[in-house]
Chains A and B, each alone.
Chain A
């Protein structure tokens, strides 16, 4: 039985696409056949993060509108045989996504894949609602910052009232909190919300904490999901996140401010 996982947040720029790329690659590396779908119609970006932007021929909307077959539109990742990408359309309006059309594609994908990862667009409009509608699990990406936490709570409200599961009185979508761009030093100074603060406000189980890291920008510069940079803090944090998602117990890491040298402590910086 394929699992549908939506990566969502409400707010833009918090790391949904980065997380979608990292988590889907992580699942694939663990041996699960995984497809990641870009739901951001008109603002396609998963392709460039996954380094397949020049291999896009057909897209998600072409498949929904039966202008191409699913296998024509799926792009196989060159680094991992278990991973496929279904890119968003760059030209169409996001109203091209309908519940019936999305359902058909997801049903077809479910026959071939273990995990279907849906990279949601920002906002709470049609595109975002379609990305989460059929989800079994939701990973809510949140930055330690007031607007992101507030928007995450709104998205949780939509998951609880407007998803297929909610509308059909099925068991609710399983919710997971993924905190990204976490900066332990700023938390230590009292300038940034801490993990327990966010957990207390959103009241959903914590899946992972990704530290603010240069590795994330480096990875997206190269079109490489950050989990492939195994030495990096962010890469390891995402791999831990995937392991927890698959049911393993892993302690949270990268939560401590790094010890500064003597000069830095005296003079700041």
Chain B
């Protein structure tokens, strides 16, 4: 930090290290979830997508397919955001 930095407006933009941490938290959590998921999940997701698209036009970001372990069973969670 030097005297010249005082004239720059740093207050509004968050520090880049903070941005890095937040981005990493999201992507690492997402990738860990994916690698613990069964191998068929991406194919299942594509098939569900194809079925929905027969009726409604949605993009990949509007469909979320997750498998969550709950003790001795798993829950398949499908979230679809349909456009209005």
A194 contact set on B, CB distance < 8 A: 17
Contact A268:B2 (CB < 8 A) given known A150-B27, A153-B31, A161-B35: yes
Counting contact residues on chain A (CB < 8 A from B), the size range is: 20 to 34
B4 touches A268 (CB 8 A): yes
Of B18-26, B40-48, B52-60, B71-79, the one contacting chain A is: B18-26
Interface status of A149 (Cβ within 8 A of chain B): yes
B23 contact set on A, CB distance < 8 A: 146
Contact with B along A130-171 (1 / 0, CB 8 A): 000000000000000110011001100100010000000000
Cβ-neighbour of A193 out of B4, B5, B17 (below 8 A): B17
A269 touches B31 (CB 8 A): no
Chain B nearest CB from A260 CB (Å) reads 9
Interface status of A261 (Cβ within 8 A of chain B): no
Counting contact residues on chain B (CB < 8 A from A), the size range is: 10 to 19
B24 contact set on A, CB distance < 8 A: 146, 149-150, 193, 197, 201
Chain A nearest CB from B34 CB (Å) reads 10
In the complex the two chains form, what is the Cα distance from A146 to B5 in whole Å? Answer: 25
Summed over the interface, the residue pairs from A and B with CB atoms below 8 Å come to a total of: 59
A153 contact set on B, CB distance < 8 A: 28, 31-32
B18 touches A201 (CB 8 A): no
Contact A192:B17 (CB < 8 A) given known A201-B24, A265-B2, A266-B2: yes
By beta carbon, the residue of chain A nearest B18 is A190
Interface status of B3 (Cβ within 8 A of chain A): yes
Interface status of B16 (Cβ within 8 A of chain A): yes
A191 touches B4 (CB 8 A): no
B5 contact set on A, CB distance < 8 A: 268
List A residues 187-209 near B (Cβ within 8 Å).
187, 189-194, 197, 200-202
A201 touches B21 (CB 8 A): yes
In the complex the two chains form, what is the Cα distance from A266 to B27 in whole Å? Answer: 39
By beta carbon, the residue of chain A nearest B27 is A150
A157 touches B3 (CB 8 A): no
B31 touches A154 (CB 8 A): yes
In the complex the two chains form, what is the Cα distance from A47 to B21 in whole Å? Answer: 36
In the complex the two chains form, what is the Cα distance from A80 to B75 in whole Å? Answer: 57
Contact A193:B2 (CB < 8 A) given known A149-B28, A150-B28: no
A201 touches B17 (CB 8 A): no
B20 touches A193 (CB 8 A): yes
B32 contact set on A, CB distance < 8 A: 153, 157
In the complex the two chains form, what is the Cα distance from A116 to B35 in whole Å? Answer: 29
Cβ-neighbour of A191 out of B15, B21, B35 (below 8 A): B15
B21 touches A267 (CB 8 A): no
9 cross-chain pairs, A with B, having the tightest CB-CB distances, nearest first: A268-B2, A190-B15, A197-B21, A153-B28, A157-B35, A146-B20, A190-B17, A201-B24, A193-B17
Tell me the A residues contacting B by CB distance below 8 Å: 145-146, 149-150, 153-154, 157, 161, 187, 189-194, 197, 200-202, 264-269
The contact sample of 23 A-B pairs, CB cut-off 8 A, is: A145-B20, A146-B23, A149-B28, A150-B24, A150-B28, A153-B28, A153-B31, A153-B32, A157-B32, A157-B35, A190-B15, A190-B18, A191-B15, A193-B17, A193-B21, A194-B17, A197-B17, A197-B20, A197-B21, A201-B24, A265-B1, A267-B2, A269-B2
